[in-house]
Structure 1
Amino acid sequence: MADVFRGLNLLETLKESIENNKLSDVKDAVEDLLISRINLAVLGDREDGKTTFINSLSGLSPGDDGAALSPSTVSPEEVAGYPNPKHPDFRLWDLPPVPSTSPFEPEGYMERVKFLRYNAVFMTFTKTPQPNTVKVFLEARSQQRQTVYFVLLASEKDTEKSLEEKRKASVEVLTSKGVAQPKVYLVKPSTLEKFDFPGLLEEMGRDLPEIRAHALLLALPTLTSTLVTQKKEAFKALVWAAASLSGGVSAIPVPFVASMVDSSVAMRILTKAQLSLCLDSESVERLARQRGIEPMRLKGLRTCELSVEVTKGEVKRRLAAAEKDLATVSSKFVEMAMPRHARSASRSFTAMLQALNGAVDEMAADAEKIVAAAVGEGV
């Protein structure tokens, strides 16, 4: 398995918070993951490659609701925002190009576009970064902002040789302008699973605060089987936290949920999982169009009922089945899984953990089959 977000262990962080009785921290983490609140900005000339890159980050195609338009209708000086239709709190921002005028004060540009409010900024270009853009990068670093990345966008006309020549020239420009150990990520806007984008995600996973890195992970489209695996692991951590807040620590007042009788938390998690794994019919159809595949072929790979539709009836059925199966779960397993505060509490922790983990496993398996069929993995 590739090492995207390898430095993060959300489950251990959540367990530590529960053990330290910091339930409000766990509640906030659960809400953050369910909402996926994150702001990414893409800086650079407004041309087709940048527009395609913005749309690919949201899993959208031209003409889709919420997609960036090409040619852009946005004023050259204006900042344009694109909330994700599936994840409204995952927002992409199209920043205007840095002026090439001289003299140039990077602080003025940064203030105008609200540079520091974004969780991460991609500085895109198609040849080499222009000098004033490098000044903005250096100013951001001087303000302790690490999550700023140089992205060389590949066009259809580029060859492997021309791209490497551009990368080399870009590194030389950055070095000459005072950037220490510069990194230039080569990205193909229409197919992000190619070239350096997975490595860029790995870098972001180390640079972003842990909860923001996971929010980004859950909001991105399922580009590779590695991302599917990482999403599955994040959802299992989320399931553990929600189960702990629900029945597991019911002796401690927590306003997040009332009781396991109400399956609303399970519904929210599994609905989020369906959207994050791009299993809903709209996402599957869009992916099929993007890859030139018959939509029914990809839809037919969804064998889990929850992959097709998350219904309260199916969620309640799974919770009830898990409750009935608790007699077959060893007490040692329950004790190991359950937070210390919860070990004398109700059985709903284990029921929720078992039911939702099983559902997440099934949904992730469907997502892996769809990704393999769409991008050719394992074919």
Structure 2
Amino acid sequence: MADVLRGLNLLESLKASIDNNKLSDVKDAVEDLLISRINLAVVGDRGAEKATFINSLRGLSSGDEGACLAECPDAPEEVAGYPNPKHPDFRLWDLPPVPSTSPFGPEAYMDRVKFPRYNAVFMTFSQTPQHNSVEVFLEARSQQREGVYFVLFASAKDTKKSLEAKRKVILEILTSEGVAQPKVYLVRASTLEKLDFPGLLEDLSTDLPEIRANALLLALPTLTSTLVTQKKEAFKALVWAAASLSGGVSAIPVPLVASMIDCSVAVRILTKAQISLCLDNESVERLARRRGTEASRLKALRTCVLSCEVTKGEVKRRLAAAEKDLPTVSSRLVEMAMPRHARYASRSFTAMLAALNGAIDEMASDAEKMVTAALGEEK
């Protein structure tokens, strides 16, 4: 797996790997993004708000199959796992609350819940964090783990003023407990697009290794138009990497390497895009239930054929059309710039890039229309 080149733009990271002829890194990155392998953990008292938060991260409502229940059937001290129905390698873990006993050793709790296996941990509470929870946070930071965050759940009764007052009190408590420059994210579990959750995602994207951050982005539901745009850009980076592999483009072209476009990879990418952008029928129906609108109205906004169904025939048609429409000038430039054995590979790269980027643009446009309509209906 390729947790490569942290801190750079994903596309620039992939280009750097190509320039250095590290095709194995690019291949691993493509697989990681297609699989979306990531583990998030939620610490805190089990109840309605925590369950709603876990479900919202998975694009589910409380009545959906596989939803996290307010009354967890597992024993209070057990860890419960919740896979994403559309992204099976994106898994959320419901961790038991940190014990309030004294004396307390944070290492023992972290060992019991397998703390190191989580890419990020949300430490949630409805009022103020207890002392032992802060101890766990400090221990995690001492182990150089950045992806641990304090999340304050906002109730229906909370106003903006009351939430800011709570935040101020909690920040003072955390400072007194030894947390340097503490941050507390205000989150409304049922509507993650509001309050501080978008800012939490921004910080996550900075703290996580780049491939993990993009895997998380692709697995999250389409909460806002901004997320749709970010997903689109991530898919375009993925398309560029896949086209590079299928076209055999590298700093040192190699004869007979991937001389033909791999249609199956294109199908995988566009299927992943359809699911990630929540364009498939099941995802649209779930979005409609969560936002209190008619699924048929949202489905009618899909104008791209691939938004409704990704078929090998449609993907082949688009790839063939892109190959046919390659400009003559571009072809001449390829012939002048590339060794003879690499010319067809470069044409394959260009055709795949054009076909898939065009499809991603169309699908993202449909997703943005649906998100805008769903949020408007909710208002």
One-letter code of the match for 1:359? A
Asked if residue 82 in structure 1 is aligned to residue 82 in structure 2, the reply is yes
The separation in 2 between residues aligned to 1:132 and 1:332, in whole angstroms, is 67
Query: Residues 121 and 258 (structure 1 numbering): CA distance in 2 closer, same or farther, change over 3 Å?
Result: farther
Deviations 1:174-233 (A, max 9, x none): 011000111000000000000000000011111001111111111111111111111100
1:238 corresponding residue in structure 2: 238
Confirm or deny: 8 A CA contact 2:43 2:94 kept in the other structure: yes
2:37 corresponding residue in structure 1: 37
1:248 corresponding residue in structure 2: 248
SS at match of 2:325: helix
Query: Residues 153 and 373 (structure 1 numbering): CA distance in 2 closer, same or farther, change over 3 Å?
Result: same
Query: Residues 259 and 345 (structure 1 numbering): CA distance in 2 closer, same or farther, change over 3 Å?
Result: closer
Deviations 1:280-330 (A, max 9, x none): 011111111111111111001100000000011110110111111013563
Deviations 1:325-357 (A, max 9, x none): 01356358879x99xx95673521111111000
Compute the displacement of 1:157 (Å): 2.0
1:259 corresponding residue in structure 2: 260
1:109 corresponding residue in structure 2: 109
SS at match of 2:326: helix
Compute the displacement of 1:79 (Å): 0.2
User: After TM superposition, where is structure 1 displaced by more than 3 Å over at least 4 residues in a row?
Assistant: 248-255, 327-335, 341-346
One-letter code of the match for 2:202? E
Query: Residues 319 and 149 (structure 1 numbering): CA distance in 2 closer, same or farther, change over 3 Å?
Result: same
The separation in 2 between residues aligned to 1:43 and 1:254, in whole angstroms, is 52
Confirm or deny: 8 A CA contact 1:248 1:343 kept in the other structure: no
Compute the displacement of 1:258 (Å): 7.8
The separation in 2 between residues aligned to 1:346 and 1:105, in whole angstroms, is 58
SS at match of 2:94: strand
Query: Residues 333 and 220 (structure 1 numbering): CA distance in 2 closer, same or farther, change over 3 Å?
Result: farther
The separation in 2 between residues aligned to 1:210 and 1:309, in whole angstroms, is 30
One-letter code of the match for 1:43? V
1:49 corresponding residue in structure 2: 49
The separation in 2 between residues aligned to 1:191 and 1:221, in whole angstroms, is 12
Q: Which runs of 5+ in 2 are unaligned?
A: 1-6
1:4 corresponding residue in structure 2: none
2:3 corresponding residue in structure 1: none
Matches within 5 A, 1:335-354: 345-354=345-354
Query: Residues 333 and 70 (structure 1 numbering): CA distance in 2 closer, same or farther, change over 3 Å?
Result: farther
1:155 corresponding residue in structure 2: 155
1:96 corresponding residue in structure 2: 96
Matches within 5 A, 1:1-379: 8-249=8-249, 252=254, 259-260=260-261, 262-327=262-327, 330-331=330-331, 345-376=345-376
Q: TM-score, normalised by structure 2?
A: 0.92
One-letter code of the match for 1:356? L
Query: Residues 110 and 238 (structure 1 numbering): CA distance in 2 closer, same or farther, change over 3 Å?
Result: same
Query: Residues 313 and 157 (structure 1 numbering): CA distance in 2 closer, same or farther, change over 3 Å?
Result: same
Compute the displacement of 1:158 (Å): 1.8
Compute the displacement of 1:69 (Å): 1.1
User: RMSD of the alignment, in Å?
Assistant: 2.2
Q: TM-score, normalised by structure 1?
A: 0.92
One-letter code of the match for 1:23? L
The separation in 2 between residues aligned to 1:20 and 1:252, in whole angstroms, is 14
Q: Which runs of 5+ in 1 are unaligned?
A: 1-6
Confirm or deny: 8 A CA contact 1:244 1:342 kept in the other structure: no
Confirm or deny: 8 A CA contact 1:288 1:298 kept in the other structure: yes
One-letter code of the match for 1:162? S
One-letter code of the match for 1:215? A
Q: How many residues align?
A: 367
Query: Residues 293 and 8 (structure 1 numbering): CA distance in 2 closer, same or farther, change over 3 Å?
Result: farther
SS at match of 1:270: helix
One-letter code of the match for 2:140? A
Deviations 1:246-303 (A, max 9, x none): 0233964899x7832x410000000000000010011111111111111111001100
One-letter code of the match for 1:274? Q
User: Which segment is superposed worse, 324-333 or 81-90?
Assistant: 324-333
Confirm or deny: 8 A CA contact 2:55 2:68 kept in the other structure: yes
Compute the displacement of 1:376 (Å): 2.7
The separation in 2 between residues aligned to 1:40 and 1:355, in whole angstroms, is 34
1:3 corresponding residue in structure 2: none
Confirm or deny: 8 A CA contact 2:29 2:211 kept in the other structure: yes
SS at match of 1:347: helix
The separation in 1 between residues aligned to 2:290 and 2:76, in whole angstroms, is 29
Percent identity among equivalent residues?
Answer: 79
